[in-house]
Amino acid sequence: MKKLTLISTIGISMVLLASQMSAAPKYGMAGCGLGTLVMPAGNQIFVATTNGTSGSQTFGITTGTSNCKADGVAQKEHAREIYVHMNFDSLEQEMAAGKGEKLSNLATLFECKSGVRFNEVVKENYSRIFTEESKANPSLMLSNLHETLEKDQTVKNYCKI
């Protein structure tokens, strides 16, 4: 039994390593993530389900792993969008307080050299970022956040908005 487990682990590791080494992204409409590594030519429903249940797609987009390319403005914006959707309630609370782990991670997604001013601006402008409409719409909240950050010269110098 131990031998079978070891052989299976080695086999899966080799498949994952081989797929990571290929230069071109090999994924379909389900996008990058663990599902594309485990089932490179698999049914997109199963790939999407694997990506969704494992949470690997968000991690892959953020870090540039799991067949996810982490370059380009659109890719970075997509990572922010996913992060905001997945952490919306926590972000609302942390933005009101001007501190917190999720808020720090969001500042990292904006590639802020220092999150201190980012947190201050978010707290000071909470009511502009979280309007009545945006409290039910993460995409609108992110758009409001962009507009707010664009107006602060210090944040513009320290972050990529």
Residues 81 and 102 in one domain: yes
Report which secondary-structure segment, H or E, holds 128: helix 126-129
Residues 152 and 107 in one domain: yes
Tell if the pTM clears 0.85, that is, is over it.
no
Range of the domain at 66: 26-70
pLDDT of residue 17: 44
In a domain, 18, yes or no: no
In a domain, 6, yes or no: no
Number of domains in the chain: 2
Between CA 110 and CA 104 the distance in angstroms is 10
Tens digits of residue pLDDT in 94-114: 999 999 999 999 999 999 988
Residues 82 and 61 in one domain: no
- The neighbour count for residue 85, using CB atoms within 10 Å, is 14
In a domain, 92, yes or no: yes
Nearest to 120 by CA among 144, 101, 140, 95: 95
Q: Of 70, 99, 122, which residue sits at a domain end?
A: 70
Residues 52 and 91 in one domain: no
Residues 83 and 113 in one domain: yes
Tens digits of residue pLDDT in 139-153: 999 999 999 999 999
Tens digits of residue pLDDT in 45-94: 777 787 777 777 777 777 777 777 655 556 778 889 999 999 999 999 99
